[in-house]
Amino acid sequence: MVQPQQHRIYILQFRKGEQEQEVSCKVSPPKGGRRVMYYYHDGGGGGRNGKPVQRRGFSLRRFFGLLLMSFMSVGTLFVAPMSLFSFVHFDDGGAASAAAAQRTRVAGATCSVMRSIGSLCCDRTSTRADICFARGDLRMHSASASFQLVSGNSTAVGKEVVEEEERIRPYTRKWEANVMATIDEVRLRRVSAGDAARCDVVHDVPAVLFSTGGFTGNVYHEFNDGILPLFVTAHHFRRRVVLVILEYHDWWITKYGDVISRLSAFPPIDFTADRRVHCFPEVIAGLRIHGELTVDPEKTPEGKSIRHFRRFLDDAYRGRIQYLQRLERRASRKRRGSKAKSAAIALPLAPSKHTSPDRPRLVIVSRTGSRVIENEADVAVLAAGVGFDVRVIRPERTTELCKIYRELNASDAMVGVHGAAMTHFLFMRPGKVFIQVVPLGTDWAAGAYYGEPAARLGLRYVGYKILPEESSLSRDYPTGDPVLTDPAGVAQRGWDVTKKVYLDRQNVRLDLARFREELVRAHQYLVAGAGAGQEEASEQSVHHFDQLTN
């Protein structure tokens, strides 16, 4: 009988714009600075319980390896009988045993009794998101929108398997029934070996299941509901995890590919479209979320905070930024070489870091549509007069995220009107200044969604609350109208009214004299911080935010 072959598939990450090349399978790493992103075993069928059949020659090396594993297994029974989700993976820190204890913190009190293979438990105590954990022989069966947990003798009564099923919509806005109704539901159910689907692809790492549906398409929700919870849930696996995605979008993978590749060394799986049966030793369905654009170190396996996430973004975008810099240097050399022959306009380069601490860089994040700064050009001139090197950026849906990250990462101050684009404060370095213009009727949202998280990141946050006369609504409503004098009362009419009046129909025209005071204070803070050390100054940002809001 001919044995089916087992293939190892390598996928290389090519730089954007670089022509793909055919790469032969070699043991040595590929040249040219590219890196192997992920691989998996494609069994191609055959074998007991669907696992690929391999030719296995018995050797002294295999014998001693099995003997060593046996001793380790016996030792584990005595040393760590209480470990939870004790999937062992090897990393640079050598913390395999610590990883099990770390995951206990992630699982939460409601699932703390799970200690053995065959475990299935869901934690539904959070008002923000449910999360389910399963360990054992798990098989992804997208045709029935389920993961099958194959039961052993311990869960059977006679020959009948005890029926057990959990259902979950793996999205982090549990309290919003309308949006949750649009999220696909997945079942985790216990089945007997005879009823289990046959494995097509066998993984030796856990899977994390989540959805990119819901409010995906809005950068705030993409980070708050997806990227940050994914970091919280999966980062401690040190890339030894497979991401399984519901409502899979190619554009989302393209937009966040740099980030995803730092969380997983394996290809993401489109749960709906991939009809193969993927088998895992462990599945986490759903994501943990700690709050608005934040990471709570008390609730993460390794005590990670929002600043760790910020450094994680540095790592994710470093390679792409270096590549962009090489392209720009090449374009600059080409432009200089042809300058004498042509009067063509040069390709604009990204700004270099300012050379003088007396002229810190300020970025104005410009809006179109609603909540526009009507006198934006005057504000830019004003900031330059105060002593800033001013840049204006206008993020579009098609703007590569790395380029926005690069601009703000190199900036000292960011100015923008309340809205989803303020999420980009995450790209700034601790110790810098974030000035959010707060239109009428948006005080609470501006503080809760962006102000408080920015302060926790270590930014010096300034909420510039406009006066009624700085709002375009003052031209639409008479003086004394509740829309101008009592936004909180108007908001009690419901979210639809708030959105229609204050978000969709309001622009701002800043009082240059008032706003100049904030710019001067920001400039003085940055210039003083350049000598005293921005990291030390950033520690005062949370206290500064408290003073602003009291």
Of the two residues 547 and 90, the one the predictor is more confident about is: 547
Of the two residues 102 and 297, the one the predictor is more confident about is: 297
C-alpha span between 460 and 454 (Å, rounded): 8
The predicted pLDDT at position 112 comes to 53
DSSP 8-43: EEEEEEPPTTSPP------SSPPSTT-EEEEEEEE-
Cβ burial 530-550 (10 Å sphere, 16+ → b, else e):
beeebeebbeebbebbeeeee
For a pLDDT cut of 70, what percent of the chain falls above it? 70
Candidates 437, 408, 440; CA nearest to 505 is 440
Q: Give kind and range of the element (H or E) at residue 376.
A: helix 376-386
Confidence of residue 349 (pLDDT cuts 50, 70, 90): very low
The predicted pLDDT at position 385 comes to 97
The predicted pLDDT at position 63 comes to 54
Confidence of residue 151 (pLDDT cuts 50, 70, 90): confident
Of 53-57, 274-278, 492-496, 540-544, the range with the highest mean pLDDT is: 274-278
The predicted pLDDT at position 474 comes to 97
The predicted pLDDT at position 399 comes to 87
- Centroid of chain to Cα 418: 21
Do 15 and 323 meet the contact criterion of CB atoms below 8 Å apart?
Answer: yes
Residue 257 has pLDDT above 80, yes or no: yes
- Average the pLDDT over each of 25-39, 141-155, 265-279, 335-349 and give the range with the smallest value: 25-39
Q: Is 416 helix (H, G, I), strand (E, B) or coil?
A: strand
Residue 231 has pLDDT above 60, yes or no: yes
Pairing of strands 165-168, 186-191: antiparallel
The predicted pLDDT at position 72 comes to 45
Residue 94 has pLDDT above 80, yes or no: no
Instruction: Compute the average pLDDT of residues 163-176.
Output: 95
Instruction: Compute the average pLDDT of residues 256-266.
Output: 96
Q: Is 147 helix (H, G, I), strand (E, B) or coil?
A: strand
The predicted pLDDT at position 175 comes to 96
Confidence of residue 68 (pLDDT cuts 50, 70, 90): low
The predicted pLDDT at position 252 comes to 96
Tokens of 317: 């975008």
Q: Which residues lie closer than 8 Å to 306 by C-beta, 6 or more apart? A: 293, 294, 295, 453, 456, 457
C-alpha span between 220 and 118 (Å, rounded): 37
Candidates 239, 240, 184, 232; CA nearest to 212 is 184
Calculate the dihedral angle through the C-alpha atoms of 537, 543, 546, 550, rounding to the nearest 10 degrees.
-110
Confidence of residue 11 (pLDDT cuts 50, 70, 90): very low
Residue 228 has pLDDT above 70, yes or no: yes
Residue 425 has pLDDT above 70, yes or no: yes
Of the two residues 90 and 241, the one the predictor is more confident about is: 241
- Centroid of chain to Cα 317: 13
Q: Which residues lie closer than 8 Å to 448 by C-beta, 6 or more apart? A: 292
For a pLDDT cut of 90, what percent of the chain falls above it? 64
- Centroid of chain to Cα 480: 44
Candidates 373, 358, 510, 353; CA nearest to 429 is 353
The predicted pLDDT at position 255 comes to 95
Q: What is the pLDDT of residues 266-309, one digit of tens each?
A: 999 999 999 999 999 999 999 999 999 999 999 998 999 999 99
Instruction: Compute the average pLDDT of residues 354-370.
Output: 85
Q: Taking CA 447 as the corner, what is the angle to CA 217 and CA 227, rounded to the nearest 5 degrees?
A: 35
Residue 267 to residues 67, 263, 429: CA-CA distances in angstroms?
A: 33, 11, 30
Residue 296 to residues 105, 274, 453: CA-CA distances in angstroms?
A: 12, 34, 11
Tokens of 418: 């309340």
- Average the pLDDT over each of 42-46, 248-252, 262-266, 530-534 and give the range with the smallest value: 42-46
Give the number of residues written for the chain: 550
Residue 93 has pLDDT above 90, yes or no: no
Residue 218 has pLDDT above 80, yes or no: yes
Cβ burial 364-402 (10 Å sphere, 16+ → b, else e):
bbbbeeebbbebbeebbebbeebbbbbbebebeeeeebb
Mean per-residue pLDDT of the chain = 79
Residue 153 has pLDDT above 90, yes or no: no
The predicted pLDDT at position 161 comes to 54
The predicted pLDDT at position 282 comes to 97
The predicted pLDDT at position 311 comes to 95
Q: What is the pLDDT of residues 458-513, one digit of tens each?
A: 999 999 999 999 999 999 999 999 999 999 999 999 999 999 999 999 999 999 99
C-alpha span between 522 and 520 (Å, rounded): 5
Provide the whole-model pTM. 0.75
Residue 97 has pLDDT above 70, yes or no: no
The predicted pLDDT at position 65 comes to 52
Q: What is the pLDDT of residues 430-454, one digit of tens each?
A: 999 999 999 999 999 999 999 999 9
Residue ranges of the alpha helices (H) in 117-234? 177-180, 219-221, 228-234
Residue 429 has pLDDT above 50, yes or no: yes
Q: What is the pLDDT of residues 311-332, one digit of tens each?
A: 999 999 999 999 988 998 888 8
Q: Give kind and range of the element (H or E) at residue 77.
A: helix 60-79
Q: Which residues lie closer than 8 Å to 225 by C-beta, 6 or more apart? A: 171, 172, 173, 214, 215, 216, 289
The predicted pLDDT at position 358 comes to 75
Residue 245 has pLDDT above 60, yes or no: yes
Tokens of 437: 């213009």
Residue 520 has pLDDT above 50, yes or no: yes
The CB density around residue 45, as the number of other CB atoms within 10 Å, is: 12
